[in-house]
Structure 1
Amino acid sequence: MASQETISLVLRLAVSVAISYVTWRAIKEIIEPNRKEKQEAEKRSKQLLQRLGIKTTVKLSDHEMFVAQNLVEPDSVGVSWEDIGGLDDQIAELRRTVLMPLQKRPDIRVSSLVQPPKGVLLYGPPGCGKTMLAKAMAREADARFINLQLSTLTDKWYGESQKLAAAVFTLAEKIQPVIIFIDEIDAFLRVRDRGDHEVTAMMKAQFLSLWDGLISDSASRIVILGATNRPQDVDDAIRRRLPCSFRIGLPNPTQRLMILRKILAGEELSPDLELEIIAAQTDNYSGSDLQELCRKAAVRCYLRAVAQNDLQLLNSLNDVNVEETGADSRITMEDFQTALC
């Protein structure tokens, strides 16, 4: 009898534990509906860390693992210095002032003052190559690169945003040398005022406090790189922490010519196409504007080639009337002049 009672007690206890576990899992799913997404993010981060060659001995917290999904693989970046036209001076200065001190060679004895700036700001009109420069740095820096998204630092649970902000810096310390890139930094660290939400204000304060710790540590090789179209909207306290600034302005005619040559490299161009004239006619064009201009010219060239085979079908589908100009399928001066209109 005693043994039967013992078995019955054990069974009841096991059933009670099982029910409690299932109930706890169900409650956790209700309370934390994005738990699966976080687990998937952690799995992706682990795979990414392995591909980046970060040692498994580096122990990361849950918050650091969540931030780690913003790490960029250099091989996955399709932009290099050679792909950027018209910004040779800025590229050379970035290499001298940021990348070379960041990649300090151990075989050369240098002063302790030789260190990268703790903050770099790229500013200027939209479409002029700020993000492309950042991408090229991710590929060429020979350092870790964190493309920090604002959504990474926002969480619905009170106090989590501050923990995630702290995780950005603790992760960077563990995997340095590292560049932390914040695109549209004015949206995240804009001028503070009384209208700021409490959580946003606390997250900014946490970020600034940790940034100060980074600045005071002369041994750290961590650079925060920001990009913005509206530098006047960036908080003054942030500007002070970004001592190295580069203005990426609208290209001049010589720079526009270099950009056009970069964009059209590998394309079939007609002998009558004079890029110098196109560069002179595109005053106040940004790099992205020139990219769009080249796209329009290439589309017109394609439409002309289609028209040679089936002009009636082309007109019926697209309501476009293109004159037949022979079998030349190369991009011509006329294509660009039409695109400019």
Structure 2
Amino acid sequence: MDDGCKRSWELLSQSLPSETGTDIANGLSNDTQNAEKNAIYVNGLLDNLTQVLDKWIINGARTTQTSVYNLVRQIEREAQDPELVKKAKRMVKRAGLPLEDTSQRKKYELGATDAAKRRNVAEERQRWEAATASTNAVGDNVARSALSRRAGRNGKPDLFLQNTDRRLDPQSVAEDKAEMEKFAGEDNDNSQPSGTRVSSAGLGLVGTDEDSAALTRISELVARAGAGDAFTGDRLGIGGLDEVLSQVKRRVFTPLAAPPKLLKELGIHPVRGLLLYGRPGCGKTLIARQIGQLFSPARPITVVAGPEVMDKFVGSSEKNLREIFNNPPDIYDTFRLGEPDGGDSIAANALHVIILDEFDAIARARGGRGGSQGDAGVARDSLVNQFLACLDGVDPPIVPTLCIGLTNKRSLIDPALLRPGRFEVQIEVPLPRSNEQRISILKVHTKSMHAAGRLLVSDPPPNTAAARYLERNGGEDVLSYESFLSDIAEYTNGMSGASLAGVARAAASHALERVVGEYSTAVIDNDRPPDSMLDCVVTRDDFDEAIKDVYESGGDRDWEPSEDEAEDAGQKEKSDK
């Protein structure tokens, strides 16, 4: 208390009996202590409010906004000093939030509207039920809504649902769902983004007439994209993997290109997952990129590296994975122009191809029996569970989806992902095992070099650098292009496709080093730049040096000291002792 209060208390205590004055003094002292404690507590709440407001300014999340309003209401209830309440409201106002939570609830959520509106919604529902009722085998009218059928027995739901679920037709359920979404308005929080809708193709069915026409057109586009020699190595720029491409075409491409009606009659649907595995540098990523464009001619493919999905915050990794599945890229504009529905039916049924590089980063086998794993293992297990739900969960993806996983070690992948129905197509991408395969790979990487006349062979294109070299120097020991590739393939046994590509690049760098050195010398001597810059050709000697370079750089040994360095180190160690 200040001096004035103390003096007033002294005068008051002198005019009262001693016992009464003591009781009042104790009461005032307790009130003061309680007020001080309350102020400390409320100031702590204000500090929490400051942190939550800072977080809301950064992310603008709805959950953070709710936390702000909860803290304000708590301060209003707990604070004894009204100035602290005013301070909290000023902080909220400065952050740009309204003082009251004005967020809209779901349009048809129970309790969110008044009784009249709820009654109108119920009457609309009853009229819809009567209009869409069907007749069963006995001749009785049966409501098409599964929920209404379950509640039709004495007004009580059937908790076992055996008879009811046995009569459900998945195609009718899909149509009912689309009709109910249209009836409900599609403007609540759970609705799909504008321009997209759930397609019956995700169920492996042929749904409405629009979906049937769109699926037929999409299958024709896929068939046209893979027609002829589209799946050959020469066309795709992939050498030595014709057997792998043949398996991919038969098991993945063919069902996508088949008419939907035929698939329905056969009782099958296209595969959901393709796993390419093998040693590094064998061409898995190249195959996935090239065939992904054949599988999805109407929609861009999505390429994601497995580690990019991982996040340090709890639940963020699962959210990143859901975003990949739930937000496919839009179809190309050419498939929207001139369409009666603006291309929505094609967008809802066009295949979404997801390429997951380093797949084992997000799909490792789950463990942790008896709590033996740490938090990181639990988080990775949760991500695998989310992936299973997105790929093959109760609700299908919003558009047909094909996942292509790429990994060096198939043994690391969770077995639940490798079962049939998920990643049921698993193809090994091996090292080139024969000279023919290595020749095919070398041809891919030297094709441009030979066509431009920069490769020294006996059959170069006329009027090129290689042809002029042969005219000046002769070509007695020069091999033809096919013989040249065959000879190089014999010396590169055991190399991967990436190593063979490295041989071609290293050979070109040796040829460039030779001509650039001559050019630099001429520039320093102020001479006219030599014509050899235009006559640059890659010779057999350049390829021999390149093979040595690749073999040396591809070793797995660490640095080792030479004999002299080891001897000097031993003498130094003896002198130190």
The offset of 1:219, in angstroms, is 12
| Alignment: residue pair count | 270
Identity %: 28
TM-superposition CA deviations, 1:80-126 (whole Å, max 9, x none): 95211111221122122112312343586763434222221101110
1:331 equivalent in structure 2? 538
2:503 equivalent in structure 1? 293
Structure 2's unaligned 5+ residue stretches are: 1-50, 62-192, 199-232, 329-346, 458-477, 525-531, 549-577
Work out whether 1:177 is the aligned partner of 2:351. Answer: yes
Query: 1:249–1:83: structure 2 CA closer, same or farther, 3 Å change rule?
Result: same
Distance in 2 of aligned mates of 1:298 and 1:111? 56
Q: Secondary structure at the match of 1:269?
A: coil
Distance in 1 of aligned mates of 2:265 and 2:310? 40
Distance in 2 of aligned mates of 1:336 and 1:203? 47
The offset of 1:211, in angstroms, is 2.6
2:455 equivalent in structure 1? 269
1:57 to 188, 195, 198: 195
TM-superposition CA deviations, 1:141-200 (whole Å, max 9, x none): 225422234355444543343344334444469564122221111121112222252332
TM-superposition CA deviations, 1:36-59 (whole Å, max 9, x none): xxxxxxxxxxxxxxxxxxx95127
Distance in 1 of aligned mates of 2:534 and 2:401? 56
Distance in 2 of aligned mates of 1:104 and 1:174? 18
1:28 equivalent in structure 2? 56
TM-score after normalising by structure 2: 0.42
2:489 to 279, 285, 290: 279
Query: 1:295–1:90: structure 2 CA closer, same or farther, 3 Å change rule?
Result: same
Work out whether 1:133 is the aligned partner of 2:343. Answer: no
1:250 equivalent in structure 2? 431
1:229 equivalent in structure 2? 408
Q: Is the 8 A contact 1:124 1:249 kept in 2?
A: yes
The offset of 1:308, in angstroms, is 3.5
What is the correspondence of 1:102-141 to structure 2 with a 5 Å cutoff? 102-105=256-259, 111-141=265-295
TM-superposition CA deviations, 1:309-340 (whole Å, max 9, x none): 345989xxxxxxxxxx9985211111101112
Query: 1:82–1:161: structure 2 CA closer, same or farther, 3 Å change rule?
Result: closer
Structure 1's unaligned 5+ residue stretches are: 1-22, 34-54, 61-78, 315-324
Distance in 2 of aligned mates of 1:326 and 1:219? 57
Distance in 2 of aligned mates of 1:254 and 1:260? 10
Work out whether 1:186 is the aligned partner of 2:186. Answer: no
2:315 to 152, 159, 177: 159
Higher relative contact order (CA closer than 8 Å, sequence separation 6+): 1
Distance in 1 of aligned mates of 2:501 and 2:397? 42
1:146 equivalent in structure 2? 302
Work out whether 1:238 is the aligned partner of 2:417. Answer: yes
What is the correspondence of 1:2-21 to structure 2 with a 5 Å cutoff? none
2:245 equivalent in structure 1? 91
Distance in 2 of aligned mates of 1:129 and 1:182? 15
Q: Secondary structure at the match of 1:84?
A: coil
Distance in 1 of aligned mates of 2:288 and 2:387? 21
Q: Is the 8 A contact 1:124 1:228 kept in 2?
A: yes
Distance in 2 of aligned mates of 1:283 and 1:276? 11
1:208 equivalent in structure 2? 388
The offset of 1:127, in angstroms, is 0.5
TM-superposition CA deviations, 1:5-30 (whole Å, max 9, x none): xxxxxxxxxxxxxxxxxx98754245
Larger Cα Rg: Structure 1 or Structure 2? Answer: 2
Query: 1:282–1:220: structure 2 CA closer, same or farther, 3 Å change rule?
Result: same
- Counterpart residue type for residue 538 of structure 2: I
Q: Which moved more, 1:89-98 or 1:130-139?
A: 89-98
Query: 1:226–1:109: structure 2 CA closer, same or farther, 3 Å change rule?
Result: closer
Query: 1:310–1:152: structure 2 CA closer, same or farther, 3 Å change rule?
Result: closer
CA RMSD of superposed structures (Å): 3.7
- Counterpart residue type for residue 227 of structure 1: L
Distance in 2 of aligned mates of 1:87 and 1:209? 33
Work out whether 1:260 is the aligned partner of 2:442. Answer: yes
Distance in 2 of aligned mates of 1:92 and 1:230? 22
Q: Which moved more, 1:113-122 or 1:123-132?
A: 113-122
Query: 1:131–1:250: structure 2 CA closer, same or farther, 3 Å change rule?
Result: same
Query: 1:81–1:183: structure 2 CA closer, same or farther, 3 Å change rule?
Result: farther
Distance in 1 of aligned mates of 2:275 and 2:408? 11
- Counterpart residue type for residue 513 of structure 2: L
